[in-house]
Structure 1
Amino acid sequence: MNTLPITSSLFRWPARLALLLLVAALSGCAAFAPPRPFTTEAEALAARGEPTARWPNEDGSTVLEFATQPYGTTCLMVEVDATGVVLRQWDALAAENLARVKVGMTQDEVRRLLGQYRSIQRFANSGEEVWDWNVPKDYYDVVALRFNVHFVDSKVVRTSQSYEYPRDRWMFGVGVGRGSPYWGMGWGHRWGYPWGGYPYWHPWWGW
Structure 2
Amino acid sequence: MRTSWRVIAVLVLALSGGCATFPVPRHVATEAEALAVFGQPVERWSNGDGTTTLEYSTQPMGETALMITVDGTGTVLRQEDALSEANLARVERGMTQEQVSRLLGRHRSVERFVLSGEEVWDWNIRNDGPGVATRFNVHFIDGKVVRTSRSFVYPHDGVVLSDVYPHYPAYAPYPNRGARFPYRWEGWAWYRR
Normalising by structure 1, report the TM-score.
Answer: 0.67
Superposed CA deviations along residues 172-196 of structure 1, whole A, max 9, x for unmatched, are: xxxxxxxxxxx8xxxxxxxxxxxxx
Shift of 1:157: 0.3
Change (3 A) 1:133 1:86: same
Match of 1:146 in 2: 135
Shift of 1:123: 0.5
The 2-side partners of 1:93 and 1:33 are apart by: 14
Percent sequence identity is 56
Superposed CA deviations along residues 15-44 of structure 1, whole A, max 9, x for unmatched, are: xxx9x99x9799769996301111111111
The 2-side partners of 1:26 and 1:134 are apart by: 17
Match of 2:86 in 1: 96
The answer to whether 1:205 aligns with 2:188 is yes
The 1-side partners of 2:117 and 2:128 are apart by: 30
Question: Pick from 36, 40, 58: which aligns with 2:48?
Answer: 58
Which 4+ runs in 1 deviate beyond 4 A?
Answer: 23-32
Change (3 A) 1:152 1:37: same
Match of 2:64 in 1: 74
Q: Secondary structure at the match of 1:100?
A: coil
Paired amino acid for 2:58 = T
Match of 2:34 in 1: 44
Match of 1:159 in 2: 148
Normalising by structure 2, report the TM-score.
Answer: 0.71
Which sections of structure 1, spanning at least 5 residues, go unmatched? Answer: 1-13, 170-182, 184-203
| Greater displacement, 47-56 / 151-160 | 47-56
The 1-side partners of 2:74 and 2:59 are apart by: 26
The 1-side partners of 2:36 and 2:96 are apart by: 33
Shift of 1:205: 2.8
- Bigger relative contact order (CA 8 A; separation at least 6): 1
Shift of 1:60: 0.8
Shift of 1:144: 1.2
The 2-side partners of 1:148 and 1:132 are apart by: 4
Q: After superposition, where does 1:6-25 map in structure 2 within 5 Å?
A: none
Paired amino acid for 2:131 = V
Which sections of structure 2, spanning at least 5 residues, go unmatched? Answer: 164-186
The 2-side partners of 1:205 and 1:52 are apart by: 43
Change (3 A) 1:80 1:164: same
The answer to whether 1:109 aligns with 2:99 is yes
Match of 2:170 in 1: none
